[in-house]
Amino acid sequence: MAKMMRAAIFVEPGRIELADKPIPDVGPNDALIRITTTTICGTDIHILKGEYPVAKGLTIGHEPVGVIEKLGSAVQGYQEGQRVIAGAICPNFNSYAAQDGVASQDGSYLTADGRCGCHGYKATAGWRFGNLIDGTQAEYVLVPDAQANLAPIPDGLTDEQVLMCPDIMSTGFKGAENANIRIGDTVVIFAQGPIGLCATAGARLLGATTIIAVDGNDHRLDIARQMGADITFNFRNCDVVEEVMKLTGGRGADSSIEALGTQKTFSQSLQVLKPGGTLSSLGVYSEDLSIPLGAFAAGLGDHRINTALCPGGKERMRRLMNVVASNRLDLGILVTHEYGLDDIVEAYDLFANQRDGVLKIAIKP
Amino acid sequence: MAKMMRAAIFVEPGRIELADKPIPDVGPNDALIRITTTTICGTDIHILKGEYPVAKGLTIGHEPVGVIEKLGSAVQGYQEGQRVIAGAICPNFNSYAAQDGVASQDGSYLTADGRCGCHGYKATAGWRFGNLIDGTQAEYVLVPDAQANLAPIPDGLTDEQVLMCPDIMSTGFKGAENANIRIGDTVVIFAQGPIGLCATAGARLLGATTIIAVDGNDHRLDIARQMGADITFNFRNCDVVEEVMKLTGGRGADSSIEALGTQKTFSQSLQVLKPGGTLSSLGVYSEDLSIPLGAFAAGLGDHRINTALCPGGKERMRRLMNVVASNRLDLGILVTHEYGLDDIVEAYDLFANQRDGVLKIAIKP
Amino acid sequence: MAKMMRAAIFVEPGRIELADKPIPDVGPNDALIRITTTTICGTDIHILKGEYPVAKGLTIGHEPVGVIEKLGSAVQGYQEGQRVIAGAICPNFNSYAAQDGVASQDGSYLTADGRCGCHGYKATAGWRFGNLIDGTQAEYVLVPDAQANLAPIPDGLTDEQVLMCPDIMSTGFKGAENANIRIGDTVVIFAQGPIGLCATAGARLLGATTIIAVDGNDHRLDIARQMGADITFNFRNCDVVEEVMKLTGGRGADSSIEALGTQKTFSQSLQVLKPGGTLSSLGVYSEDLSIPLGAFAAGLGDHRINTALCPGGKERMRRLMNVVASNRLDLGILVTHEYGLDDIVEAYDLFANQRDGVLKIAIKP
Amino acid sequence: MAKMMRAAIFVEPGRIELADKPIPDVGPNDALIRITTTTICGTDIHILKGEYPVAKGLTIGHEPVGVIEKLGSAVQGYQEGQRVIAGAICPNFNSYAAQDGVASQDGSYLTADGRCGCHGYKATAGWRFGNLIDGTQAEYVLVPDAQANLAPIPDGLTDEQVLMCPDIMSTGFKGAENANIRIGDTVVIFAQGPIGLCATAGARLLGATTIIAVDGNDHRLDIARQMGADITFNFRNCDVVEEVMKLTGGRGADSSIEALGTQKTFSQSLQVLKPGGTLSSLGVYSEDLSIPLGAFAAGLGDHRINTALCPGGKERMRRLMNVVASNRLDLGILVTHEYGLDDIVEAYDLFANQRDGVLKIAIKP
């Protein structure tokens, strides 16, 4: 009989609960990871609320830090007992989409049981943990395509130091990478939640020299300054678009990063741009977006709008952990709370209601 | 007393008329060109209808083919009598915007009298002829920043052969260049007016191998096939999005080019894309655009939306004329009618009402 | 007892012979392909002569066209009996190198028996067939990482039509892609052997408008014109560098493609360039190269030198076969001879001595 | 009669001396700048030694910091009395080369008297000050194409703070920009003179996380650490290539920057690279370079070799001064000495012989 483990599963809208599930079998290209630390993401709250549909009974969570428990027969170059992470997006790098440069949009595996649906592309289908297959808020998680996705943790780094790499650091940095930043650029980052803060840090890392962080919460703006912002605007106290135009002498910003997912911040992200500027969008929107005609120069402004899903894969994770190991950035500051897996329902409640200054919660099975 | 010339000027909404205007003086960086051929653009129709505001009395037109009549004292390397063209967009390449890679968005000169408004960026302000300064539907036109903008016509090319270079060929090709085309791509081009046809030709030139042209007019679709389309869809007879999905086995196109400027074609341009695809937008929109949430994958589809204004400058014109000289493309086929400048009011009427299968009209002063 | 097959193996310098070998076993990520057509490459001649070392007894050849005989247990989305090709370079797309954008330099598998040597990079180690593992000049070949490397042949294409895709078309096109070609460029391609001819075709496909092909053989220059060259120079009759400078009015070419692998053509590839130009190198050199100081502007000329190994993978193959299916290019013209596998020693002799106008030979097991 | 000024002129090999020259006349596109601070560059030492030929009597120097004394009649948007800098490379942005993306290779002006030689490209001809026209080691300098090249100094920055922008900061940063740096990269910078130090700072600014600085002088390696190096190697004490390979687990560096101009450092720059890596070359070489075959993978390693000449123009200068104003970098540390213009011969002697730990000297007319 299969051995059992504890896992946080989606029961129905409003209910994520702990349950016992069998520890999964390990196929030739899989690896079984014993989770030592994971976390809760904003997306999980959408799942909890029923706003993002997943299968009933699915284990939630997509940010694995742990230890290799068992390797599939075809997985080479790792040892059981090794500490690893894997990206929140865990693609099949053998797919057409991956070879075409958009691994996150890999449509190879579409079903919760790992069956192969098609071999083309499917938007966001590279996101499998806690979406298409069982996720990481559990004692164990099965990592598919383990050869491509297992990234060994460098000696000397703690779980907390690498906990942000699988998702928000990869996402926030991608937002900065998508902003076409060049040395000397002015960049405006809208919203300073965990992903926006990482986008701010990413803009700093890539050579922007006037980094403007926007939020409505002064505490988050303080952290934004620690992450590399030169200037912060609290949108409750000023007209952000006007302030950016004043600051740039009417030129506008070289790029903007939208890290919230609302019409208002999307519009402002376009309005602060110079003609020829780039809007890098990270937000998950919930309705059709409107592009304001004037800021869009009626379509003649040489604008760029770039969207992204978090990149995954072991090489991406290796690079992000190198950023941490090289002391370029300390994201430990974002981990404000810690809970055992057994108390995850309570952790969800805290996080969903954004109480107690919570940014990110470490979950320890 | 200044010598006079004939010019087509904007009088008021609904009226563009011929008038006598003084032949302009030539400043140190200018060149005076005697127009031998010019044409009417869709934008001119917007001006005629009062939909796009220009100063009353301004000479209209932005596609110059002619002969150098007089060179400014600081302009070097040209001779009077030389046959030249200049781009419809005629930027100041000394501007910050030009050095920053977006010459078309150069805000150096903002006023009809050539005075320097500011030194930053201003959307579309690189378009000066027939917009901020007197245009080309006249016996003579003054080319500012002539050193940067005068492009000698290679021996052996006729006026008609290079007449499309200043605007629609540069614009249409930019649409293809902005589509991130790689060898083996599938590209869908929406609308096969003169610019869409050039975008189709540009996609062919850049290595797309499944080129799908869309229009509601079978005659234009015939021409699209001559311009390089592999497949054509008349949107009156089929559901274009569905057909593209069928043709690509559900994968979607690598990129799409919107060459009309309507909500419907913009939405479809996004709907035909694979996740990770690029929407290259050329249309001039007249109201806020809506981005359909599903096709946009809620912001998570690794999509690109790129807009453009026609690139100008002598190097751009040199390259486009080289395309013609190398027999890669014959755009003469697009010049369906010819009028003398004296009959330009009649030509406007024909073009505005799209009678008689008109695509482009050669105007001969 | 294992079933046996015929295979062309390397015996010792000067000797490639037919031998009986066991048909290989199929691991979970492998596929066994029954070869219907393959070919001999210039590299195979280097192996034959002992200039490029491979293990004694190794099956030679790296250009597979065939039918799936048997699929590994973990390979999904294909059927036995399906017609497929695979790239000459057959990388592990799960490797760090592949995720880092240089799949051809994948060092995951370094040994002929498929054991994993390391997980880093090793120059050219993505080339496995007929180099690190048994190759394609046999009745059957085992394709590793089959999920990533098997590319179904579109209906209606013959073996001969896709026989160039695995190697010379992918290589030659990569030479053109590495040349940073833009619309209106002048490109010079040195040497019009099979790879140079494909580079010429690639330059045409990517929008170069003055394509100059160089060789010492007029017949090959004739074929170059069919592949898209605008101008051809026989280096026996003229000074190529001087001619290019004359043709471009002293400006130089935008880019050059070296497709031979000699010091002389490498030097000339630099000498024909404009300052700011790109040298795309495809040649396999046999000794330290010298960069001529003057043509290199002492290091201050904003030059680019780009090298490449042939790209592989199913997405690359899909795109190349699409070029063929779209009638952009007919490489069948390059297949000048056909031999049965049993006569391969004779075919080697013909090809090594370049007799009878041979370009490429179809080998039929 | 023309007013006179003091200027450091090239007399003959071995002799640069102060002399009286007329203050130049100001043409319509020129600006006359009163120099407040300038400096001596390594290139000037080559001129002094007769290794780089310039016209006898030419004023030397190419790094202007000063005040606008007089503006040409066609130069707009500046005021006399304004503090400005201009790039060491001072291109004509109206040229074909500039519009083609390589302004530094602009061949518009080739002669010391400013006459127009041709309109094409000429390697390094964008470098005019102290090369083709009178330079900056004088009381006044005439800036050609002033509209494109004058960059106002932001309030609050001293001459010393911006003195490195015109040349070594622009050059060193370009070395980093040419290295294709991505987040998480390992970069090796060979030689830590002023330009190498700026390349090190540039690599840090662009997101490299393992930055390895190499030199034979421990003091310079100390400064390299202040500029952002993570690791330093003194080549006198170790085998640099071996150390880099050890440090990267045999993978090699993602890119290297050659900042000296010798065969040995060029070879090592290639030897430390991973397959697929980029060699960004800044050195000025004095003889044909040899490319070591093994490190070059015989031409099959997907390597990139990129060279550069310092970029100029007001937008580039604006961005670099913004880096300084944003406290990303303090290059004041590199200005180790100060001399009056009257003592410039003594300053040359100190700098040429690299006495007293000299890095850069501020020259004050």
Both structure tokens of B343 = 């009959």
Query: Is C293 in Cβ contact with D293 (below 8 Å)?
Result: no
CA-nearest of C169, C176, C187 to C281 is C176
Identify the band that residue D20 occupies on the pLDDT scale cut at 50, 70 and 90. Answer: very high
CATH number of B4-167+310-364: 3.90.180.10
Question: How many pairs of residues across A and D have Cβ atoms under 8 Å apart?
Answer: 56
CA-nearest of B188, B182, B176, B181 to B269 is B188
Q: Nearest by CB to C328, which of B173, B209, B323?
A: B209
Query: Does the beta carbon of B299 lie under 8 angstroms from any beta carbon of chain A?
Result: yes
Task: Give the start-end residues of each E strand in chain D.
Answer: 4-12, 15-22, 31-39, 65-71, 83-85, 140-143, 151-152, 186-190, 210-215, 231-234, 253-258, 273-281, 289-291, 304-307, 335-340, 360-364
CATH 3.60.21.10 fits C179-307, yes or no: no
pLDDT the model gives residue D118: 45
Query: Is B121 in Cβ contact with A302 (below 8 Å)?
Result: no
- The residues in A 317-336 lying below 8 A from C, measured between CB atoms, are 318
Q: Which of chain D's residues have a Cβ under 8 Å away from the Cβ of B312?
A: none
Report d(CA C135, CA C349) in Å as an integer.
Answer: 19
Rounded mean pLDDT, A26-34: 96
pLDDT the model gives residue A1: 61
C73, C99, C116: which to substitute to probe chain A, counting the most A Cβ within 10 Å? C99
ipTM passes above 0.90? yes
C8-39 pLDDT, tens digit per residue, is 999 999 999 999 999 999 999 999 999 999 99
D186, D205, D211, D330: which to substitute to probe chain A, counting the most A Cβ within 10 Å? D205
D251, D302, D306: which to substitute to probe chain C, counting the most C Cβ within 10 Å? D302
Query: Nearest residue on chain B to C315, judged by CA atoms?
Result: B184
D155-171 pLDDT, tens digit per residue, is 999 999 999 999 999 99
Question: How many pairs of residues across B and D have Cβ atoms under 8 Å apart?
Answer: 63
CA dihedral over D44, D46, D52, D55, signed as positive or negative = positive
Q: Nearest by CB to B184, which of C185, C209, C322?
A: C322
CA-nearest of B82, B127, B66, B151 to B321 is B151
Query: Nearest residue on chain A to B96, judged by CA atoms?
Result: A251
Query: Nearest residue on chain D to A170, judged by CA atoms?
Result: D183
pLDDT > 50? residue D330: yes
Neighbouring C-alpha atoms within 13 Å toward the C-beta of B137: 31
Q: Nearest by CB to A319, which of D177, D183, D202?
A: D183
**Element (DSSP H or E) covering residue A291:** strand A289-291
Rounded mean pLDDT, C43-60: 95
pLDDT the model gives residue C1: 61
Residue C297 is classified by DSSP as: G
In angstroms, the separation between the Cα of residue A9 and the nearest Cα of chain D is 35
pLDDT the model gives residue C182: 98
**Element (DSSP H or E) covering residue D98:** helix D96-99
Rounded mean pLDDT, A108-114: 51
Q: Which of chain C's residues have a Cβ under 8 Å away from the Cβ of A152?
A: none
pLDDT the model gives residue D114: 42
pLDDT the model gives residue A119: 55
Is there a contact between B137 and B343 (Cβ–Cβ < 8 Å)? no
Q: Which of chain D's residues have a Cβ under 8 Å away from the Cβ of C288?
A: 290-293
Q: Nearest by CB to A276, which of B97, B250, B301?
A: B97
Query: Does the beta carbon of A254 lie under 8 angstroms from any beta carbon of chain D?
Result: no
Q: Which of chain C's residues have a Cβ under 8 Å away from the Cβ of A94?
A: 93-94, 145, 147-148
In angstroms, the separation between the Cα of residue C283 and the nearest Cα of chain D is 6
Lowest average pLDDT, out of A44-48, B115-119, B305-309, C267-271, goes to B115-119
Identify the band that residue D106 occupies on the pLDDT scale cut at 50, 70 and 90. Answer: confident
pLDDT the model gives residue A106: 86
Q: Nearest by CB to B276, which of A100, A296, A305?
A: A100
Report d(CA C311, CA C90) in Å as an integer.
Answer: 9
Is there a contact between C98 and C92 (Cβ–Cβ < 8 Å)? yes
Q: Which of chain A's residues have a Cβ under 8 Å away from the Cβ of B278?
A: none
| Average pLDDT score over chain C | 94
Query: Does the beta carbon of D289 lie under 8 angstroms from any beta carbon of chain C?
Result: yes
Query: Is D145 in Cβ contact with B315 (below 8 Å)?
Result: no
Q: Residue ranges per domain, chain A?
A: 4-90+127-167+310-364, 179-307
C112-161 pLDDT, tens digit per residue, is 444 444 457 889 989 999 999 999 999 999 999 999 999 999 999 999 99
Q: Which of chain C's residues have a Cβ under 8 Å away from the Cβ of A77?
A: 108, 116, 118-119
Task: Report percent pLDDT > 90 for chain A.
Answer: 92
pLDDT > 70? residue A114: no
Q: How far is CA C142 from CA A232, B326, D96, in A?
A: 59, 47, 53
3-state secondary structure of C356: coil
3-state secondary structure of D9: strand
C183, C248, C328: which to substitute to probe chain B, counting the most B Cβ within 10 Å? C183
Query: Is D183 in Cβ contact with A210 (below 8 Å)?
Result: no
Query: Does the beta carbon of A76 lie under 8 angstroms from any beta carbon of chain D?
Result: no
Identify the band that residue A347 occupies on the pLDDT scale cut at 50, 70 and 90. Answer: very high
User: What is C46-105 written as a DSSP string?
Assistant: HHHTTSS---TTPBP----EEEEEEE-TT--S--TT-EEE--SS---TTSHHHHTT-GGG
Is there a contact between C63 and C38 (Cβ–Cβ < 8 Å)? yes
pLDDT > 90? residue C67: yes
Q: How far is CA B257 from CA A121, B247, B323, C206, D170, in A?
A: 21, 18, 21, 18, 37
Report d(CA A80, CA A68) in Å as an integer.
Answer: 5
In angstroms, the separation between the Cα of residue B90 and the nearest Cα of chain A is 15
Query: Is B183 in Cβ contact with C173 (below 8 Å)?
Result: yes
Residue environment code for C318-337, b if the CB has 16+ CB neighbours within 10 A, otherwise e: bbbbbbbbeebbebeebbeb
- Looking at the DSSP assignment, which residues form a beta bridge with residue A363? A38, A339
Assigned fold of D4-90+127-168+310-364: Quinone Oxidoreductase; Chain A, domain 1 (3.90.180)
3-state secondary structure of D137: coil
Fold equal for D4-90+127-168+310-364 and D179-307? no
Query: Does the beta carbon of B123 lie under 8 angstroms from any beta carbon of chain A?
Result: yes
C-alpha R_g of chain C = 20
pLDDT the model gives residue C108: 74
Q: Nearest by CB to D290, which of C261, C275, C288?
A: C288
**Strand D83-85, strand D65-71: pairing:** antiparallel
pLDDT the model gives residue B1: 62
pLDDT the model gives residue B118: 45
Both structure tokens of A165 = 């790499």
- Give the distance from CA D364 to its chain's centroid: 19
Assigned fold of C4-90+127-166+311-364: Quinone Oxidoreductase; Chain A, domain 1 (3.90.180)
In angstroms, the separation between the Cα of residue C88 and the nearest Cα of chain A is 16
pTM (two decimals): 0.97
Query: Does the beta carbon of D206 lie under 8 angstroms from any beta carbon of chain A?
Result: yes
pLDDT the model gives residue D112: 42
Q: How far is CA D170 from CA A335, D178, D323, D351, in A?
A: 39, 12, 11, 21
Both structure tokens of C27 = 């691991």
10 Å Cβ neighbour count for A336? Answer: 13
Is there a contact between C176 and C203 (Cβ–Cβ < 8 Å)? yes
* Residue C7, amino acid: A
Identify the band that residue A109 occupies on the pLDDT scale cut at 50, 70 and 90. Answer: low
- Show the CA angle centred on residue B265, arms to residues B262 and B270, nearest 5°: 125
What spatial distance separates the first Cα and last Cα of chain B, rounded to whole Å? 23
- Looking at the DSSP assignment, which residues form a beta bridge with residue C140? C34
D227-239 pLDDT, tens digit per residue, is 999 999 999 999 9
Residue D154 is classified by DSSP as: P
D40-91 pLDDT, tens digit per residue, is 999 999 999 999 999 999 999 999 999 999 999 999 889 999 999 999 999 9
Report d(CA D26, CA D144) in Å as an integer.
Answer: 9
- Show the CA angle centred on residue B118, arms to residues B114 and B124, nearest 5°: 75
Is there a contact between A127 and A109 (Cβ–Cβ < 8 Å)? no
In angstroms, the separation between the Cα of residue C326 and the nearest Cα of chain A is 20
Report d(CA D295, CA D291) in Å as an integer.
Answer: 8
3-state helix/strand/coil string of chain B: CCCEEEEEEEEECCEEEEEEEECCCCCCCCEEEEEEEEECCHHHHHHHCCCCCCCCCCECCCCCEEEEEEECCCCCCCCCCCEEECCCCCCCCCCHHHHCCCHHHECCECCCCCCECCCCECCCCCCCECCCECCCCECEEEECCHHHHCEECCCCCCHHHHCCHHHHHHHHHHHHHCCCCCCCCEEEEECCCHHHHHHHHHHHHCCCCEEEEEECCHHHHHHHHHHCCCEEEECCCCCHHHHHHHHCCCCCEEEEEECCCCHHHHHHHHHCEEEEEEEEECCCCCCCEEECCCCCHHHCCCCEEEECCCCCCHHHHHHHHHHHHCCCCCHHHHEEEEEEHHHHHHHHHHHHCCCCCCCEEEEEC
What spatial distance separates the first Cα and last Cα of chain A, rounded to whole Å? 23
For chain B, list residues with pLDDT below 70. Answer: 1, 109-119
pLDDT the model gives residue D115: 44
Both structure tokens of A304 = 């760029």
Identify the band that residue C2 occupies on the pLDDT scale cut at 50, 70 and 90. Answer: confident
C-alpha R_g of chain A = 20
Q: Nearest by CB to A74, which of C29, C108, C314?
A: C29
pLDDT > 80? residue A110: no
10 Å Cβ neighbour count for B353? Answer: 10
Q: Which of chain D's residues have a Cβ under 8 Å away from the Cβ of C285?
A: 293, 296, 298-299
Report d(CA C355, CA A171) in Å as an integer.
Answer: 58
User: Widest CA span of chain A, in angstroms?
Assistant: 71
User: Architecture of A4-90+127-167+310-364 per CATH?
Assistant: Alpha-Beta Complex (3.90)
Both structure tokens of B228 = 């390089």
Both structure tokens of A109 = 């595996």
pLDDT the model gives residue D108: 73
CA dihedral over A103, A104, A106, A112, signed as positive or negative = positive
Identify the band that residue D6 occupies on the pLDDT scale cut at 50, 70 and 90. Answer: very high
Tokens 């193959």 — which residue?
C317
